[in-house]
């Protein structure tokens, strides 16, 4: 019997509201969204109740970089389950050694060492702990409107609206405008442990920094002995047309955080990857950071398969080709719908559609449910619709996305 659609949808929504999140159920009912993931395959997700089908251009921020239920990723998990389980996190581990070695080989410079985790926020917390442990300094600088997760230290780097109810949070966290080197220069000092930025902040609205920004960040970190942390949770693993988004800016951070896509959409696993010179602290305190499920051994084999797929000859070239198709299509849409679509932001398949008014973002997302597309507006700039299709998308499917967007923008114009 299928696990999907086991009862009437109304009843399912009621049970979700009663036992999972009454607030979410109320919100979605008010905005008129009743879509619930049912069957899913490749770039498509179907509603639990039947025929309605969307192309997933949200992909949970990159979790579904390889599309839904990639057969090779599923096979890797099934195969790992024949012999392994989660393993013991205190002991040494073959799968963790193999995956860490592979990640190191895929990273630039001497980003050679890995701490595994389960979620992206946890991986960011680990990065900040390492930076503070290594430098013995308190200050952590992040971007206004950025997003690094909702766990302890990651939460402290983030937006006021999520922090405020949980205060007091750990001290030492300050924020600067993203892309502004002068502001960073004014904030950084001898007390700075770390500077943390997303390569392209997604929740901020897919904001592309000036091309020389990260070289400047690198220089300032070097000058003050601060650790440069780059959050590649959304931009990494091929999303920007290179293995890591930061590669496209020609800069090597001290710590690189990867999460979402490493799971293949199948088994959660994250990695905080750091340079050799930061190792002294964790070498001296090997049990100071613990994660029972971090680097689960079966998850390591899932991640290894994800990386093998990304490393296949032609994979990144395919991403760049699809990005070119999107560039052409979106530029046509911008000319046609110039009143509502005012800017296209793009690096590889990391894309954002800047609309003329923040009030347009939510209805644009709603329109997607009617015209076959799952896209979400950026929470910290609701004038931007995030567009992150699976990297495995094919040319005809890019055509379908552009067609849907055309209908959505037409609907928005005529509202």
Ligand X SMILES: Cc1ncc(COP(=O)(O)O)c(C=O)c1O
Report 179-218 residues binding ligand X (CB under 6 A): 198, 202
Q: Which is nearer to ligand X, 306 or 408 (CB)?
A: 306
Rounded to a whole number of angstroms, the minimum distance from the CB of residue 301 to ligand X is 20
Rounded to a whole number of angstroms, the minimum distance from the CB of residue 123 to ligand X is 8
Opening angle at CA 101, ends 213 and 155, nearest 5? 50
Judged by CB under 6 A, the residue of 38, 42, 67, 121 near ligand X is 121
Stretch that binds ligand X, among 11-19, 91-99, 143-151, 377-385 (CB under 6 A): 143-151
How far apart (Å, rounded) are the C-alpha atoms in residues 65 and 233?
A: 11
Residues 6+ apart with CB under 8 A from 362: 31, 377, 382
Instruction: Note whether 172 binds ligand X by CB under 6 A.
Output: no
Rounded to a whole number of angstroms, the minimum distance from the CB of residue 260 to ligand X is 6
**Type and span of the H or E element at 196:** strand 192-198
Instruction: Note whether 124 binds ligand X by CB under 6 A.
Output: yes
Rounded to a whole number of angstroms, the minimum distance from the CB of residue 59 to ligand X is 11
Residue 225 CB neighbours (<10 A)? 12
Rounded to a whole number of angstroms, the minimum distance from the CB of residue 163 to ligand X is 15
Rounded to a whole number of angstroms, the minimum distance from the CB of residue 199 to ligand X is 9
Instruction: Note whether 352 binds ligand X by CB under 6 A.
Output: no
Stretch that binds ligand X, among 113-121, 188-196, 322-330, 373-381 (CB under 6 A): 113-121
In this chain, which residue has its C-beta nearest to ligand X?
120
Total number of residues that touch ligand X (CB under 6 A) = 14
Q: Which is nearer to ligand X, 46 or 197 (CB)?
A: 197
How far apart (Å, rounded) are the C-alpha atoms in residues 227 and 196?
A: 8
Bridge partner list, 227 = 194
Judged by CB under 6 A, the residue of 116, 147, 244, 301 near ligand X is 147
Report 31-70 residues binding ligand X (CB under 6 A): 61
Stretch that binds ligand X, among 1-9, 120-128, 165-173, 301-309 (CB under 6 A): 120-128
Q: Which is nearer to ligand X, 62 or 95 (CB)?
A: 62
Q: 361-371 vs 395-413: helix axis angle to the nearest 10?
A: 130
Q: Which is nearer to ligand X, 166 or 223 (CB)?
A: 166
Residues 6+ apart with CB under 8 A from 75: 305
**Type and span of the H or E element at 270:** strand 270-275
Q: Are 78 and 71 in contact (CB under 8 A)?
A: no
Report 292-321 residues binding ligand X (CB under 6 A): none
370, HSE (Cβ side, Cα atoms, 13 Å): 13
Q: Which is nearer to ligand X, 257 or 412 (CB)?
A: 257
Choose among 406, 245, 227, 211: nearest CA to 323: 245
Q: Which is nearer to ligand X, 231 or 297 (CB)?
A: 231
**Type and span of the H or E element at 346:** strand 341-347
Cis peptide before 168 (omega within 30 of 0): yes
Q: Which is nearer to ligand X, 259 or 322 (CB)?
A: 259
Rounded to a whole number of angstroms, the minimum distance from the CB of residue 332 to ligand X is 29
Rounded to a whole number of angstroms, the minimum distance from the CB of residue 233 to ligand X is 4
Rounded to a whole number of angstroms, the minimum distance from the CB of residue 247 to ligand X is 17
Phi, psi of 255 (to 5 degrees): -135, 135
Judged by CB under 6 A, the residue of 68, 134, 137, 148 near ligand X is 148
Rounded to a whole number of angstroms, the minimum distance from the CB of residue 274 to ligand X is 16
Stretch that binds ligand X, among 77-85, 126-134, 141-149, 296-304 (CB under 6 A): 141-149
Q: What is the DSSP string of 126-182?
A: HHHHHHHHHH---EEEEETT----SSHHHHHTS-HHHHGGGPSPPS-EEEE-TT-HH
Report 233-292 residues binding ligand X (CB under 6 A): 233-234, 259
Q: Is the dihedral of CA 364, 350, 100, 151 positive or negative?
A: negative
Judged by CB under 6 A, the residue of 42, 87, 95, 119 near ligand X is 119
How is residue 156 written in tokens? Answer: 């402290």
Q: Are 125 and 156 in contact (CB under 8 A)?
A: no
DSSP secondary structure code for residue 210 in this structure: P
Judged by CB under 6 A, the residue of 67, 87, 145, 149 near ligand X is 149
**Position of tokens 């402290």?**
156
Choose among 334, 343, 337: nearest CA to 415: 337
Q: Which stretches of the chain bind ligand X, using CB under 6 A? A: 61, 119-121, 124, 147-149, 198, 202, 231, 233-234, 259
């Amino acid at each position: 019997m299928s696990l999907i659609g086991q009862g009437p949808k109304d009843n399912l929504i009621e049970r979700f509201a009663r036992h999972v999140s009454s607030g979410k159920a109320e919100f979605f009912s008010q905005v008129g969204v009743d879509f619930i993931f049912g069957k899913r395959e490749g770039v498509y997700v179907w509603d639990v109740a039947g025929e309605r089908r969307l192309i997933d251009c949200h992909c949970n921020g990159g979790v579904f970089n390889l599309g839904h239920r990639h057969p090779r990723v599923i096979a890797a998990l099934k195969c790992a389950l024949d012999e392994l389980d989660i393993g013991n996190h205190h002991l040494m581990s073959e799968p963790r050694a193999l995956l860490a070695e592979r990640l190191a080989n895929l990273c630039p410079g001497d980003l050679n060492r890995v701490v595994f985790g389960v979620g992206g926020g946890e991986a960011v917390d680990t990065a900040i702990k390492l930076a503070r442990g290594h430098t013995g300094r308190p200050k952590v600088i992040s971007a206004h409107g950025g997003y690094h997760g909702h766990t302890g230290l990651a939460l402290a780097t983030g937006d006021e609206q999520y922090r405020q109810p949980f205060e007091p949070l750990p001290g030492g966290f300050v924020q600067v405008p993203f892309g502004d080197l002068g502001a960073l220069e004014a904030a950084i000092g001898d007390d700075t442990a770390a500077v943390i930025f997303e390569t392209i902040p997604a929740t901020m609205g897919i904001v592309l920094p000036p091309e020389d920004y990260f070289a400047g960040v690198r220089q300032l970190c070097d000058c003050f002995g601060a650790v440069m942390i780059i959050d590649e949770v959304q931009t990494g693993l091929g999303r920007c047309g290179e293995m890591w988004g930061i590669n496209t800016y020609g800069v090597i951070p001290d710590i690189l955080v990867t999460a979402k896509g490493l799971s293949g959409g199948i088994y959660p696993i994250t990695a905080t990857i750091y340079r050799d010179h930061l190792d002294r602290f964790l070498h001296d305190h090997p049990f100071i950071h613990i994660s029972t499920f971090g680097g689960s051994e079966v998850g390591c084999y899932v991640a290894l398969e994800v990386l093998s797929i990304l490393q296949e000859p032609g994979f990144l070239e395919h991403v760049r080709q699809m990005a070119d198709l999107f560039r052409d299509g979106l530029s046509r849409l911008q000319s046609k719908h110039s009143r509502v679509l005012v800017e296209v932001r793009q690096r590889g398949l990391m894309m954002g559609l800047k609309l003329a008014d923040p009030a347009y973002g939510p209805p644009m997302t709603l329109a997607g449910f009617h015209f076959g597309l799952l896209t979400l507006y950026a929470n910290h700039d609701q004038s931007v619709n995030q567009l992150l299709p699976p990297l495995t998308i094919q040319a005809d499917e890019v055509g379908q996305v552009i067609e849907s967007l055309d209908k959505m923008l037409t609907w928005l114009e005529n509202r």
